[in-house]
A and B are shown apart, each in its own frame.
Chain A
């Protein structure tokens, strides 16, 4: 079965960077986009972007250009998101999500458990 296992919670200092991971299993990693979504405490969902691990192509929400960098390692079936120049506004839970097969690639049928990033000095 499809599983997305994310890395653990991070406590990071303002101005630093953090890289979180999403290890995929149960399907061919290179065949589906991997999306990333942000959720601030008590708030709604914000789409960050996607990466297609098959060829490394990416697409970002303009709002996250320069903030988020998406990469993927085919050998370990793991997607990564690096967040840079962190501020308190980046404190959130970050989810990876995979689309529903055979349909609109923006329907997120599989989700990781989320990674909490806390930015604090």
Chain B
């Protein structure tokens, strides 16, 4: 199975700040990676797929980049609704595997 290692596990930031979350795959996943946002008690929501494509309706302050085994999610100018947990996901091969998540908290 492809292992997805996410960092940091938690992150404290202020409104208006820019943050970056990293995801490291155990092998090359050829940009077949997605990012999800999950708020407490809610279902995950797709943000980015194919490493850098923004899902419909997702604000442009979210962006994804990377290649090979290293990927990142960047959130510019943090808004109150961005404080949530974020997960990366390998979509290259079954089983789909997720990172352990990054909890983004308000400082």
A: residues with CB less than 8 A from B are 35, 43-47, 59, 61-63, 95, 97, 100, 103-104, 106-109, 111-114
Contacts and interface: CB of A to CB of B under 8 A. Distances in A.
Contact of B87 (A45, A95, A100, A113): A45
Interface stretch (B17-25, B75-83, B88-96): B88-96
Interface of B: 32, 34, 36, 43-46, 49-50, 55, 87, 89, 91, 94-101
A114 B43 contact: yes
A104 B95 contact: no
Contact of A44 (B49, B55, B87, B94): B87
A95 B46 contact: no
Contacts of B97: 47
Contact of B95 (A63, A107, A109, A112): A63
Contacts of B91: 104, 106-107
Nearest to B93: A106
A114 B43 CA distance: 7
8 contacts: A45-B87, A47-B94, A47-B95, A62-B95, A95-B43, A100-B49, A106-B91, A107-B34
Contacts of B89: 45, 106
B100 A44 contact: yes
B45 A111 contact: yes
B19 to A, nearest CB: 19
B98 A44 contact: yes
Contacts of B43: 95, 97, 111-114
Contacts of B99: 44
